[in-house]
Amino acid sequence: MADVLEQLRAALGDRYDVERLVGEGGMATVFLAQDRRHDRRVAVKTLRPELVASIGADRFLREIRVAARLQHPNVLALYDSGQAGGILYYVMPFVEGESLRHRLSRELQLPLYDAVRITREAAEGLAYAHERGVVHRDIKPENILLQNGHALVADFGIARAVDAAGEKLTQSGMAVGTPHYMSPEQALGADHADGRSDVYSLGCVLYELLVGQPPFDGPNTRAIMARHQMEQVPGLRIVRQSISEEIEDVVFQALEKTPADRFQKMSELAEILCDLEPTVATRRTTSRGVPAVQRATPRGTRATIISTPSRVAALKLGRGARFWSLAGLAAALAIGMAVWRPWITPGSASGLDTGGLDPRRIAVLYFGGEPGSDSLGYLADGLTEGLIGELKQVQSLDVVSKGGVAPFRGQSIPRDSIARALRAGTLVIGNVEREAGKVLVTVRLVDGASGADFERAGFELPAGDPLAAQRALAEKATGLIRERLGEEVRLREQREGTRNPEAWAAVQQANRHGKTGDAAAESGDSVARDREFAAADSLFARAERQDQAWIEPLLGRAALAYRRSRLAGDQPLEAGRWIQQGVGHVERAFALDGENPEALELRGNLRYWRWLLSLEADPTAARALLAAAKADLEAAVREDPAQAGAWATLSHLYYQDGNAVDVKLAARRAYEADAYLSNANVVLSRLFYSSYDLGQFPDAVHWCAEGQRRFPQDSRFVECQLYLLTTKAREPDVALAWRLADSLVALAPRSEREFQRHNAHMMIAATLARAGLGDSARRVAVAARGRPEMDPTRDLLYAEAFVRTLLGDTASAISALRTYLAANPQKRTAFAEEGSWWFRPLEGTAAYRELVGTGR
């Protein structure tokens, strides 16, 4: 194995620092490596020699390209693949977590809720792959990874190639799969094993999660395979009485010997597990006495939703697009944007868990400057943000982003309260002060749990060289953290930047003016806003002249132009002028670094905003503009998978394709990369509505609760509670529905209140229908229809069709949908191809098939 390691280091040294062996499996050997280009940890997997001999390099590289296209929240991504010195390898993210096997080894049996949820998430990832022609063929606990508690199905990279070479592998005596989880037809070497084989394997995994051992065992591989083919599956409830009959029946059907008797699609298994999940969760929460959803008390004003032209309001659904519920359309209205001022406020920290703070989670609070000294203020900001960036490169630390700490700047809040709000076990605080003509920098480490200082250091700022100060500060801070944690904390080599202190100072001053201008924009002071933004642009331009090889000033000018275009959104021509300027700045940035992820994100944002504003009149040119924006943003996240802002914009852009899975994936990647994005509330809202539209109600409950916890004053997280009452994840509490509706209307801008009231009342009608109060539901629904001029696209009738479906009023539901589709003919295709869970009971009726034009 040492030879393979040295071969990899020699062959891949220009791209990866291959560090050490971390594991071996039946098909591959795994090495931990550092991706030099993207500065991230990765897993490099090399195929075992006997597998290479059977598959062949060309087939492996050809087939693995298909697996590389899989992008799903529950599928581990594939970054790279190739051949090096006769070794076939592929590269995947290194997951900071554990495999399902590790958890099973520790716990033996999983709680019912966790077992069902993890299996459901794996089933959703597999269903996505099956729809694209990729069968895994080796599902087992080792190939299901757990990241933040969520399932990631791994090793599709081998699956496609192995699937293609299956006959040759069988002839060579090498079975594809693991005996304890192998379907009967796969054990026989059938070359036609399809997605139903994965259903069987996942059923074996679920059996083991519930019972603590696989359904069949034996002294050798042949004995185990024989038992899979011949013996009945042992009952689960004999071993564990808390398993319900419904769950046992699901396992039995997944483990039928004949593929035709199993779930015919993995999506069917995922769907029935999703249906079971709330009942398991309800049993769990009831036993623990967890209170029901509480009404959010409206305080302050509703967060502004950016108004955009009809292209956004009417979100196009082209061929192949998923049909969207009204909830999803409403969520898509706010694209959100990354600006200097975060949405989160210190007050939103209330209600956070106060225990178990991890000292490796670090929050660097903004350093204090000398009162009244603007020069020290920008220096303090620059040192703070530079230190955050430096520490973020240390793999063993979990560092809160700038957006997370910014709300606490200048606030008189106890340090232990800040630590609990950010869940940080260690705070880094500091000051920049003048003393006797010198500038002194002090840095202190604070224990998050107690708020007490336990380490401190200081140094004198080298005269006229803030860049040296930045590096000195990083070294001092890491030294203190090393003493705190008792382990090695190493800084990475500093990334290419400027060596010009004047240029660095100009950029810090520009950022400070930008933040001030943003605050003025929020307060409505357009004169101060324009003055501060102009000063920021002038300083960026100065820095650009002072160091023409530094990309940062160009990115700063482009970001500023984008911000100004967003503020001019109600004046499209003015916005277009700023968009054009921003693109010009980005193009000059590309001359310095053609693959810079921040530049790609900025150009993608500028292009997408131009498309949303309908500034491209020609339809063909508009389609090309949208495609170019999408390509830029996807390139940005390929270059840097932690580019949270690009993921956030993609989570909105993917609404244009009508694909809820992609929306959810992008939003989740954005939130995982930076939970303190300036538009984190919008990202959380998208996570809720995409889960809701996909019928993934446990996830919808989770994201709604997360939004309530972090943004208790945001109306989105009042609205999500109301929508949950329309699902089986919540009891149909009619009184709560009325209270939530009142809160929503009170928070809505005056111009939106009439529509918001009618829409909320439709959701109340749905809750009444679920509660069995049919007559009341019908009365409320009729009263909530509103005036056609208020609702020209007849969205309220669409919601009423949902109410009528719940009531079993099929003819009325079809009539409402007919009127809705007459007003929105472009959405008929989406109805025909995928439909919505709202109208699933109608899909079997001739009237529905005739309406949407499908013969299903």
Listing DSSP states for 771-828 in one string gives: TT-HHHHHHHHHHT---TTT-TT-HHHHHHHHHHHHHT-HHHHHHHHHHHHHH-GGGH
Q: Which token pair is 188?
A: 């026989």
Angle, CA 124 vertex, CA 123 and CA 125 arms, to 5°: 90
CA-to-CA dists, residue 560 to 517, 642, 761, angstroms: 10, 22, 41
- Residue 24's contacts (CB-CB under 8 Å, 6 or more residues apart) are 30
Contact 151, 118 (CB under 8 A): yes
Cα 807 to its chain centre, rounded Å, is 35
Query: The dihedral of CA 490, 496, 497, 500: what is its sign?
Result: positive
Query: The dihedral of CA 97, 100, 102, 107: what is its sign?
Result: positive
Alpha-helical (H) ranges within 38-111 are 49-55, 57-68, 100-107
- DSSP class of residue 220 equals S
Query: The dihedral of CA 735, 737, 740, 745: what is its sign?
Result: negative
One-letter amino acid at 313 equals A
Q: Which token pair is 718?
A: 């009042």
What is the C-alpha to C-alpha distance for residues 503 and 324, in angstroms, rounded to an integer? 49
Give 34's strand partners.
17, 41
Nearest one of 98, 93, 82 to 146, comparing CA atoms: 98
Cα 70 to its chain centre, rounded Å, is 15
CA-to-CA dists, residue 460 to 370, 378, 435, 468, angstroms: 15, 17, 10, 11
Contact 650, 634 (CB under 8 A): yes
What is the C-alpha to C-alpha distance for residues 788 and 755, in angstroms, rounded to an integer? 11
User: Which of the following is catalytic: 14, 35, 138, 525?
Assistant: 138
Query: In 10 A of CB 776, how many CB atoms?
Result: 15
Give 775's strand partners.
none
**138 has catalytic annotation:** yes
Contact 298, 711 (CB under 8 A): no
Query: In 10 A of CB 522, how many CB atoms?
Result: 12
CA-to-CA dists, residue 242 to 211, 274, 442, 792, angstroms: 11, 19, 58, 52
Give 45's strand partners.
30, 90
Contact 647, 673 (CB under 8 A): yes
Pairing mode of beta strands 144-147, 80-84: unpaired
> Where in the sequence numbering do the catalytic residues fall?
138
